[in-house]
Chain A
Amino acid sequence: MKLYTKTAHELHDLLVRKEVSATDLVKAQAERMQALEPKIQAFVTPTVDKALEQAALVDAKIVAGEAIGPLEGVPMAIKDNMCTDGVRTTCSSKILENFVPPYDATVVTKLKEAGAIMMGKTNLDEFAMGSSTENSGFFTTRNPWDTERVPGGSSGGSAASVAAGQAVFSLGSDTGGSIRQPAAFCGVVGLKPTYGAVSRFGLIAFASSLDQIGPFTRDVRDCALVMNAIAGHDAKDSTSAPVDFPDYTSLLGKSIKGWRVGLPKEYFGDGIDPEVRAVIEKAVKTIESLGAEVAECSLPHTEYALPVYYLLAPAEASSNLARYDGVRYGYRSESADDLISMFKKTRAEGFGDEVKRRIMLGTYALSSGYYDAYYLKALKVRTLIKNDFDQAFEKFDCILSPTTPSVAFKFGDRTDNPLQMYLSDVFTLSVNLAGIPGLSINAGFANGMPVGLQIIGKAFDEARLLQIAHAYEEATGCHSRMPELGV
């Protein structure tokens, strides 16, 4: 039995029927993980020993005849920008290489409570800034479908680990597309929830008003199960929403007949790879065949999303990353001889190029004399972008688009041109600016590489996004295909 191909809900059934133990699962998963690491390099810090301890506890429960939850005993991975008590949390940055948090992120606490077992911390673009995981301060993660290609970013490690079968599910964070884009590149399900639906406490901030934690899974049902575990109000996060959260599995299997689905004309212009376009068009036909009415819609301020994002996100980042100054924890330059040079050298030596680029952009955008022209103007346009979606959702239940304009690109292809790299997030970042949920599922394949279909909904409408995604999944079955990795 190839356990690594199973979803969480399938594994749950096996555990309940005592066909496997949690220890078996963790061992099999660890074996898979270790066998593939030389090829994929998804993990910054494996935590297999701890995982085995936890698995023993779950097995004791099962033996004692106690009921176990749907994620109990299920191996998972956590992006290394979420704090884990006693386990180093690096953000894939030299500056935090040896940082061991004394607390768990709320999502980690919740998953621990749900009994999920962490196999390790996954690689990312440094401080979650990037679209290829090439900006990791340590090493590059590879795409399981083609190891010459990037896994996407910034949650590349989390996406690749699930696609390669190194973890059953994982958590990523999404500031401008960092869950959806790597999910698309790696052919897995990735959800960026509504801003405020999942606590950010313990997530090392990149851009606080845009960051949101979400799951990577093999199928839509797993995504719903993980959301059930991690969504909810958190008193430790003021921006977390004090609303009622649904059972995210409650609408799975329900018909989408009569749904009104919008295709934003601004997302279907030039610049989309023809192969990707063909897959998406086919996917739209499938959705139509399931009873949905598809029509063109408009998000007129789309062209401003990229500049707005690249003003706001770096502005917040410049402030969030200021605390890495060598005073209290993390890296400190050894060549400094006074306070100011300690600050400067620590940051010069500890941060990578992309992070520095964004800190400089953000510092500039916030500086007096430019604030009104850049930051404040960007805030205003952000409102216009949000209004676009509000208007669209008056007419439509959800919006479909490609998740990315192309399939995963090859290493080095875009590293010399940051601007072109930024364009790979062009379909996803409006969703962060609007604070609404976006889901990427595997729509099919182009030249052997997965293509992502993005489903966007109004705030707190995740359950319905999962409903339509599930319907598509059932109709096509393309989610069940896994990359050949020769292990």
Chain B
Amino acid sequence: MGNEMIETMDRDETMEREFDFEIVMGIEVHAELHTKSKIFCGCTTEFGGEQNTHVCPVCLGLPGVLPVLNRQVVNYAMKAGLALNCEIAEFSKFDRKNYFYPDLPKAYQISQYDLPIAKDGHIEIEAGGKKKRIGITRVHMEEDAGKLVHGGAANLAGAEYSLADYNRTGVPLIEIVSEPDIRSIEEAIAYLGQLKAILEYTEVSDCKMEQGSLRCDANVSLRPWGQKEFGVRAELKNMNSFKALQRALEYEIERQAEILREGGAVVQETRMWDEAKGMTISLRSKEEAHDYRYFPDPDLVPLVISREWVDKVRQTLPELPQARRVRLVQSYGLPEYDAGIIVGSKAMADYFDAACAAYAIAVPAGTEADSKGQERAKQISNYLMGELTRFLNASEKGFQDSPISPDNLVGLLRLLEEGTISTKIAKTVFEEMFATGKAAKTVVEEKGLVQISDEGAIAAVIRDILAANPAVVADYKAGKEKAMGFLVGQAMKATKGKANPGLVNKLLKEELAKM
């Protein structure tokens, strides 16, 4: 399901060479795992909190303390690895990455070096209307460092003093490293989006980029079309949103292209994306690159993972975005576009499925809903992608905390389907439902918004209007089409918009014909 082989796109043939170089990118993503406690101690991982309150001797690396691995971290890392189609290592270990920085209490970070927990995976992305497979080199576990708070300035430069906050030290991370398979900015964005969706679906990370729980670095190089060897790359750091990734890549690609066009050589270095300046800035070159002096951490025994353990974790894997998208298209006939948008957010996709269930159109995977069901599913989709998304965005809410429950949305759709309310009234009802959380029926009853489809009642209203507007009737008779619009409007106004507009039109024409 959704895992059929997808031919890797041959970019030479299919991509327009509007750009003079081929872009080669690999992306490294750090995701904070959604555990309650830190990776090597019992401290909370809760975001924020007063500085240095979520700490203990262990995560502070005080003399004499020892790390003890949190088993839940391994479960989550494994789950992510499996969701990314990786092999899970039966034997892996933790290593020390040694470097000095005030936010790193032990002056080394415990990470995984040559034996990561997961490797050799892939995910499928869609960019530019084409599907493509991006290789996942590895997934490894590590601890986060602390954070420096600079006094009197936003950055170290210009700061009068700097304080260290260690609340974040020891928060468990996984680092997901892609193969250098990414060939365009669009693919990079799609890759990050797909990865984020997978991590959200598996619930291993909350992926809040604004809180730093999902962070992205990219290796970028250019090469002349047709060249096999990679160009010299720069590593870009500090891109904390999709927009930042896009802008940083645009800047960096152009920067490198300019150097190459002028016959220069790109320098291998680490560069930082400066959001405020809108440019990448050199941090350090290859010459001054760190020698991290990795070696196995003697305080932690190697991690041995049994097949049973892997199987147990595998059983907790949910339906992943790719599979879900295929199911939405197959079962409900949703357009690929709709399905793509919906599965892009787990909360939205869950909402969609809940609504289908409420509408009694849910079908098991691999089967198709009938045409009525498909019609209803499309209705749901329209509302999710349109009205509901708009309202949620405006009130900065997600689908998981939508004031309109899937049940209530379906209630509204049923009233529409039955003709109890008009599309126009539905808008009013929707607004009220969003504001109050009430059921559609309740809103309609409370506000007396039931559509008037009683021909006799409408005819009576129409007769009154025609009697009161002889001049307009005369205009209509004289061939002024606009007059008709005015009369319809009057009828709707008289019924407070509740009259069935189709009936109003029909009866009006009939009455006028009689005159």
Contacts and interface: CB of A to CB of B under 8 A. Distances in A.
Interface stretch (A131-139, A149-157, A231-239, A383-391): A231-239
Identify the interface centre among B60, B65, B68: most chain A CB within 10 Å of its CB. Answer: B65
B105 interface: yes
Contacts of A103: 57, 62, 64-65
A91 interface: yes
B107 A205 contact: no
A440 B503 CA distance: 106
Contact of B64 (A101, A238, A322): A101
Main SS of the interface on chain A?
A: loop
Contacts of A91: 63
Nearest to A237: B66
A235 B298 CA distance: 16
A105 B66 CA distance: 11
Nearest to B63: A204
A323 B105 contact: yes
B98 A366 contact: yes
A238 B100 CA distance: 25
A319 B63 contact: no
Interface in B65-103: 65-69, 96, 98, 100, 102
A327 interface: yes
A449 to B, nearest CB: 34
A329 B105 CA distance: 10
Interface string B416-448: 000000000000000000000000000000000
B64 A366 contact: no
A104 to B, nearest CB: 10
B193 interface: no
Given A200-B66, A238-B301, A315 B295 contact: yes
Interface residues of A, number: 42
A238 B299 contact: yes
A102 B66 contact: no
Contacts of B482: none
Contacts of B299: 205, 208, 238-239
A237 B299 CA distance: 8
B293 A239 contact: no
Identify the interface centre among A82, A89, A327: most chain B CB within 10 Å of its CB. Answer: A327
A105 B65 CA distance: 8
Contacts of B102: 325, 327, 339
Nearest to B164: A327
Interface residues of B, number: 28
Contacts of A205: 63-64, 299
Interface in A313-354: 315-316, 318-319, 322-323, 325, 327-329, 339, 343
Contact of B66 (A96, A101, A201): A201
B64 A323 contact: no
A417 interface: no
Contacts of A339: 102
A367 interface: yes
A238 B69 contact: yes
Interface string B471-488: 000000000000000000
B475 to A, nearest CB: 85
Nearest to B290: A368
Main SS of the interface on chain B?
A: loop
A328 B300 CA distance: 24
Contact of B100 (A207, A209, A322, A328): A322
Contacts of A105: 64
B303 to A, nearest CB: 10
A207 B68 CA distance: 18
Contacts of A323: 61, 63, 105-107
A236 B64 CA distance: 11
Contact of B298 (A202, A203, A208, A236): A208
A47 interface: no
Interface string A206-244: 011100000000000000000000000001111100000
A83 B96 CA distance: 23
Interface string B286-321: 000001011100111100000000000000000000
B62 A368 contact: no
A340 B394 CA distance: 48
Interface of B: 57, 60-69, 96, 98, 100, 102, 105-108, 164, 291, 293-295, 298-301
Given A101-B62, A318-B293, A343-B100, 20 more contacts: A83-B64, A89-B63, A101-B63, A201-B64, A207-B298, A208-B298, A237-B66, A238-B301, A239-B300, A239-B301, A319-B295, A322-B107, A322-B108, A323-B63, A323-B106, A327-B164, A366-B294, A367-B293, A368-B293, A371-B293
Interface of A: 82-83, 89, 91, 96, 99, 101-103, 105, 200-205, 207-209, 235-239, 315-316, 318-319, 322-323, 325, 327-329, 339, 343, 363, 366-368, 371, 375
Cβ-closest 4 pairs across A and B: A322-B107, A209-B298, A208-B298, A366-B293
14 contacts: A91-B63, A201-B65, A202-B64, A208-B299, A235-B68, A236-B66, A237-B66, A238-B68, A319-B107, A319-B293, A343-B100, A368-B291, A368-B293, A371-B295
